[in-house]
Chains A and B, each alone.
Chain A
Amino acid sequence: MISKEMIGASTIPIILSILLEGEDYGYEIIRKVKLYSGGNLEWSEPMLYPVLHRLERNNHIKASWKILENGRKRKYYSVTTEGKTLLETKKSEWTEMITMLTKMWNLKPAVQ
């Protein structure tokens, strides 16, 4: 079980990382998160969409409606320049943390 603090802190970098691979829509984002986490992290749409909308309002991502083959509409999100900058910041924060923790755990194995 992943703690709520971790989920809270990781949501935005995860979304931005997925969108960095190319534009995407909500259902796929959730599917990819599940895939990448090996099934350990399962987001629900009521949780995801408000976050997407907030990122959109803060100009970290942008959205566009596309018409599908069957005539339906789908909202795609893609990351903006500001979003990329934000992701870079997050990335360095996370890398720093992971590097540090890995070091510590390698030095002292089997912390009880």
Chain B
Amino acid sequence: MDGDDYDAYQNVEPQTSSTMSFNLENEIRNWKAQLRKHKGFEDADIEELEDHLRSKLATLVSRRTSEDEAFQAILSEDYNDLNSISMLYSDQRGTSSLFPALLANYFKVGWRSFARTKTYFAINLMGLIIGLTSVLYIIFYVNFELNYDSFHENSEEIYRINTLFERGTTKMHYPIIPPAFGPEVKTSFSEIENAARLRYSYSVLMKYQDQSFYEDKVFFAEAPFFEMFSFKWKLGNPEGALQDLNTIVLTEKMATKYFGESDPLGQIITYNNEIDLKVIGVIEDVPGQSHFTFDFLISFETFKPGPGSLEPLTSWRWLGFLTYVQVNPNADIPGLEKKMLDLFQSHRNASNTNVDIQLQPLKSIYLTSGGLSNPQGGLFKVNDPDNLISLGVIAVLIIIISFFNYFNITSALMRTRSKEIGIRKVFGTSRRKVFVQMGSETLIIVALASLLSWTLILFMGKLELFQIIDESIIIAGAASISILVFFTLLSSVLFGSTFSSYSAMQLLRSKLSTATNSKFSVGRLVLLLQFGISAALIMVSLIVITQLSYFSKKDLGYSSDGIVMAKFASEEMNARRQTYVDASLNVPGVEAVSFGPSLDGSTSGSPLRLKEWPEDQVIQTAYFGVDYEFDKILDLEMVSGRFFSKEYARDSAEALIINETMAEMLGLEDPIGQKVEFARRDYEIVGVFRDFHYKSLHHEIGPLAMELWLGQPRNVMIKYRTENIGRTLQNLESTWKEVFREGGFPFDYRFLDEQLQAMYQKEQEFATLLKVFTSLAIFLALLGLFGLSSINIQQKIKQIGIRRVLGAEVKQIAGVVSKRYIVTSVLGIVVALPFAYVFMKGWLENFAYSIDLNLGFPIVTLLAVLGITALTLSYQVYRVMTVNPSSILRDE
């Protein structure tokens, strides 16, 4: 080539020169290099085009245009889309029309167009990855939640027997039944193949050699338990397990905790310093997908009703036993429930309550037990199906936002590619081919995003956490593929038809109006929807977060600060109770020591009625047994009457204090001095105390009664001043060790406020998920907004450049480009927020105590969206303003 020597010479010129002079030969050389990168151009084509370029240049220069300007003008006018020109060259050469080859070509062109628009490609890809990963995660999470207890082979045939009582106006729903019931149904009804009773053993001191620990996850279980439930055995033999007296099965984690490396089988663990239990088996830790959890199972034979118990194991009145039954696969469940109810009724003689029996399917226990009284809060997991629905809704929203983003950004980009499509149309490319081309480009990017999302999900290790089962992989895979197909089809139809509707000349002239220019257009509607959805999501997340933080801040009616609780559950300890109280009160900072309820949300209850009321009119009432100091711990405020006092000798026998709710339910002006019957004993009401939240905030405050209880406690509560906590606790621990040197009772303390937080663990887990996914959805919406405005502004870049040259100010330009977005976004928000408002109102009704939905939420949302929009736009305007206008004009 004859220009080469000259080019080479020019290249030697130092580039540090401050005035970068325009070098035509260099520029042409670069331009030709660009052409060579495209497969459509052969050497001869390039030479022909070079000649053309030079001829055109000569003409323009003769019209007193500078060489520099002329060159830039030609490049931007004729060669700004080398891809499509190259494709025309290959097209006329007769590219094989065989489908795969054609498709490969589209992929190639698509890939090039991605490479050309790296930023938007990255935005699109990132948006899709975030969207797909979120959706996959939610699918795995929801599927996990939906499949609780399905790991048991017999899960379809196992039911839990629940009881429903209706006394007066109160309804109670318990997962427990009397001890005589289980064995009786098994022998009476042929449909029932197996039955197992479980009895919760309250906090237990487990001792092996010289180490002892308090354990909370302990049950007595009947032998058929392991025949019905498929817990995996690591050591020992499940056959006949738990049949013998004083035998125990424990989990792997506990085996390691107690025995370390040595063989656990045959070892002896001492229960509450009373009973020696022989380890006969070790099972794998209870899977996360089990609605109840345990660390130890002791043979049911070992269980003896305690000395305080009024009822024997043959009782039909003692509600205290979880009972699971395995039924014949063909059993008629409603019929069986009826027969069981008849059996139950025939053994009861109390007529003042309506009772019903429910067989609750094992697999649905986790999600349908929200309304059940949960006697041992921490060991039974429940979730609200509404949470899963909310997550599902968010997943769908995320996918919609992802698609809107993709559609918005891609269609904006497509407008810059209109020349390519237009030329193809002149050559008679069929409509179908345009569809295929648009579809295949979407296919590449969504497939790539799916691949990366799956990699991400797999590497996050979440699959392990969810103990992912084949089923969810299949569901998630199917979802992945559906999304891929949906995106591909929809985008090929949307983009393809957009282009088919324009004539080739329009496309060639690149005079396609940007869709958002016109007052009503699909692009603008999409933008509006997108704003609406982002705004709705922002408001939803604001409300959710506010409601959940309200939980932690809501006044419980007492102060949970500065209270520490410890297990005090043995007779040996109780024998030294006074010594311990005196010693603890000597610790500086300690204000009160009391023995009472555990305040973990669990309560027991009994019927209460005024003596003057008829026999069958009762109020089911929660009950706390407390000592003389309990009011000091909670700063209990007496509304009328008095707290228990040592001055009244009869307090320990027949005094009862009640809360305001109870007083109101009794309907008396002055309940003080009233005689009542409570738990079949006679009492006199001596005081009414201010309501406080003794259960979690999910529940409204119900009727509560307190009685003086000076017998064996379960807990000791210590209230202390909150300064110098570290030293106070140290002193408390050494006092404990001093008093309880013998017996090896550990100072196993916990803070009341932490324990209260644990009651909202599920909410907090859900809140975290919700926060993460709503943040992602918001982020996605913003990403789309950012990408979309960038493209649109770049299309207006020439206009802005000219305005700047003409001396326009930043304000004016910013106004021109942002007016439309502001109008569209406000419109979108105004449309969407009422929907979100109504939806959240419904959600808040799930809570007994909820925040008020005031106008602050929509206002904050509006400000947030507008603020973020303004930020994105200012960034874009800033970018335009800081670029040299001549370079903008040149690029165009």
- Which residue in A3, A57, A73 is a CB contact (below 8 Å) of B503? A3
Q: Which residue of B lies closest to A4 (CB)?
A: B504
Binds A, one of B85-93, B362-370, B552-560, B793-801: B85-93
State in angstroms the CA–CA spacing of A44 and B507 once bound together.
13
Q: Which residue of B lies closest to A53 (CB)?
A: B92
Interface residues of B in 44-63 (CB under 8 A from A): 44-45, 47-49, 51-52, 54-56, 59
State in angstroms the CA–CA spacing of A3 and B49 once bound together.
27
State in angstroms the CA–CA spacing of A44 and B77 once bound together.
9
User: Could you tell me if A72 and B2 are in contact, using CB atoms closer than 8 angstroms?
Assistant: yes
User: Could you tell me if B426 and A49 are in contact, using CB atoms closer than 8 angstroms?
Assistant: no
- Which residue in A4, A49, A72, A73 is a CB contact (below 8 Å) of B49? A49
- Chain B residues positioned under 8 Å from A4 (CB to CB): 425-426, 503-505
- Chain A residues positioned under 8 Å from B48 (CB to CB): 26, 49, 75
Chain B 496-512 near chain A by CB (<8 Å), digits 1 or 0: 00000001110010000
User: Could you tell me if A45 and B52 are in contact, using CB atoms closer than 8 angstroms?
Assistant: yes
User: Could you tell me if A27 and B55 are in contact, using CB atoms closer than 8 angstroms?
Assistant: yes
User: Could you tell me if B89 and A49 are in contact, using CB atoms closer than 8 angstroms?
Assistant: yes
User: Could you tell me if A54 and B92 are in contact, using CB atoms closer than 8 angstroms?
Assistant: yes
State in angstroms the CA–CA spacing of A49 and B78 once bound together.
12
A79 to chain B, nearest CB (A): 18
- Chain B residues positioned under 8 Å from A53 (CB to CB): 45, 89, 92-93
- Chain A residues positioned under 8 Å from B2 (CB to CB): 71-72
User: Could you tell me if B47 and A73 are in contact, using CB atoms closer than 8 angstroms?
Assistant: yes
User: Could you tell me if B52 and A26 are in contact, using CB atoms closer than 8 angstroms?
Assistant: yes
Whether a CB of chain A sits under 8 angstroms from the CB of B423 is yes
Q: Which residue of A lies closest to B58 (CB)?
A: A27
User: Could you tell me if B52 and A72 are in contact, using CB atoms closer than 8 angstroms?
Assistant: no
Q: Which residue of B lies closest to A8 (CB)?
A: B426
Question: Contacts A45-B78, A46-B84, A46-B85 given: A72-B426 contact, CB under 8 Å?
Answer: no
Interface residues of A in 24-75 (CB under 8 A from B): 25-28, 31, 44-47, 49-51, 53-54, 57, 71-75
Whether a CB of chain B sits under 8 angstroms from the CB of A7 is yes
State in angstroms the CA–CA spacing of A72 and B28 once bound together.
14
Question: Contacts A50-B91, A53-B92 given: A27-B505 contact, CB under 8 Å?
Answer: no
Q: Which residue of A lies closest to B77 (CB)?
A: A44
User: Could you tell me if A50 and B78 are in contact, using CB atoms closer than 8 angstroms?
Assistant: no
- Which residue in A8, A57, A71, A75 is a CB contact (below 8 Å) of B51? A75
- Which residue in A2, A31, A46, A49 is a CB contact (below 8 Å) of B505? A2
Q: Which residue of B lies closest to A46 (CB)?
A: B85
User: Could you tell me if B89 and A3 are in contact, using CB atoms closer than 8 angstroms?
Assistant: no
User: Could you tell me if B52 and A46 are in contact, using CB atoms closer than 8 angstroms?
Assistant: no
State in angstroms the CA–CA spacing of A26 and B419 once bound together.
20
Q: Which residue of A lies closest to B81 (CB)?
A: A46
User: Could you tell me if A3 and B423 are in contact, using CB atoms closer than 8 angstroms?
Assistant: no
Whether a CB of chain B sits under 8 angstroms from the CB of A1 is yes
A90 to chain B, nearest CB (A): 18
A72 to chain B, nearest CB (A): 6
- Chain B residues positioned under 8 Å from A27 (CB to CB): 51-52, 55-56
Question: Contacts A3-B503, A4-B503, A7-B505 given: A47-B423 contact, CB under 8 Å?
Answer: yes
User: Could you tell me if A75 and B44 are in contact, using CB atoms closer than 8 angstroms?
Assistant: yes
Chain B 765-808 near chain A by CB (<8 Å), digits 1 or 0: 00000000000000000000000000000000000000000000
User: Could you tell me if B51 and A73 are in contact, using CB atoms closer than 8 angstroms?
Assistant: yes
- Chain B residues positioned under 8 Å from A51 (CB to CB): 92
- Chain B residues positioned under 8 Å from A1 (CB to CB): 505
State in angstroms the CA–CA spacing of A45 and B423 once bound together.
11
- Chain B residues positioned under 8 Å from A54 (CB to CB): 92
User: Could you tell me if A25 and B51 are in contact, using CB atoms closer than 8 angstroms?
Assistant: yes
User: Could you tell me if B88 and A50 are in contact, using CB atoms closer than 8 angstroms?
Assistant: yes
B736 to chain A, nearest CB (A): 89
- Chain A residues positioned under 8 Å from B84 (CB to CB): 46
Q: Which residue of B lies closest to A68 (CB)?
A: B51
- Chain A residues positioned under 8 Å from B47 (CB to CB): 73, 75
Interface residues of B in 812-840 (CB under 8 A from A): none
Q: Which residue of A lies closest to B55 (CB)?
A: A27
- Chain B residues positioned under 8 Å from A45 (CB to CB): 49, 52, 78
A105 to chain B, nearest CB (A): 24
User: Could you tell me if B51 and A44 are in contact, using CB atoms closer than 8 angstroms?
Assistant: no
Chain A 1-19 near chain B by CB (<8 Å), digits 1 or 0: 1111001100000000000
User: Could you tell me if A46 and B88 are in contact, using CB atoms closer than 8 angstroms?
Assistant: yes
Question: Contacts A3-B505, A27-B51, A75-B47 given: A46-B78 contact, CB under 8 Å?
Answer: yes
User: Could you tell me if B45 and A49 are in contact, using CB atoms closer than 8 angstroms?
Assistant: yes
- Chain A residues positioned under 8 Å from B85 (CB to CB): 46
State in angstroms the CA–CA spacing of A53 and B419 once bound together.
20
Q: Which residue of B lies closest to A28 (CB)?
A: B55
- Chain A residues positioned under 8 Å from B425 (CB to CB): 4
- Chain A residues positioned under 8 Å from B419 (CB to CB): 46
User: Could you tell me if A50 and B505 are in contact, using CB atoms closer than 8 angstroms?
Assistant: no
User: Could you tell me if A74 and B78 are in contact, using CB atoms closer than 8 angstroms?
Assistant: no
State in angstroms the CA–CA spacing of A72 and B521 once bound together.
51
- Chain B residues positioned under 8 Å from A46 (CB to CB): 78-79, 84-85, 88, 419, 423
- Chain B residues positioned under 8 Å from A7 (CB to CB): 426, 504-505
- Chain A residues positioned under 8 Å from B79 (CB to CB): 46
State in angstroms the CA–CA spacing of A7 and B48 once bound together.
23
State in angstroms the CA–CA spacing of A46 and B77 once bound together.
11
State in angstroms the CA–CA spacing of A28 and B504 once bound together.
24
State in angstroms the CA–CA spacing of A31 and B51 once bound together.
14
State in angstroms the CA–CA spacing of A38 and B425 once bound together.
26
User: Could you tell me if A72 and B54 are in contact, using CB atoms closer than 8 angstroms?
Assistant: yes
User: Could you tell me if A50 and B508 are in contact, using CB atoms closer than 8 angstroms?
Assistant: no
B76 to chain A, nearest CB (A): 12
Q: Which residue of B lies closest to A2 (CB)?
A: B505
Interface residues of A in 65-100 (CB under 8 A from B): 71-75
Interface residues of B in 67-100 (CB under 8 A from A): 77-79, 84-85, 88-89, 91-93
State in angstroms the CA–CA spacing of A26 and B485 once bound together.
45
- Chain B residues positioned under 8 Å from A73 (CB to CB): 47, 51
- Chain A residues positioned under 8 Å from B45 (CB to CB): 49, 53
Q: Which residue of A lies closest to B56 (CB)?
A: A27
- Chain A residues positioned under 8 Å from B3 (CB to CB): 72
- Chain A residues positioned under 8 Å from B51 (CB to CB): 25-27, 72-75
Interface residues of B in 412-445 (CB under 8 A from A): 419, 423, 425-428
- Told that A45-B49, A72-B3, A74-B51 touch, could you supply 16 new A-B pairs with CB distance under 8 A? A4-B503, A4-B505, A7-B426, A8-B504, A25-B52, A26-B48, A26-B52, A27-B51, A31-B59, A45-B52, A49-B45, A50-B427, A51-B92, A53-B89, A53-B93, A71-B2
List 5 A–B pairs whose Cβ atoms lie within 8 Å, in order of A's numbering. Answer: A1-B505, A25-B52, A45-B49, A47-B88, A54-B92
Q: 8 closest Cβ contacts across the A-B interface?
A: A27-B55, A4-B504, A46-B85, A50-B92, A50-B88, A54-B92, A71-B2, A75-B48
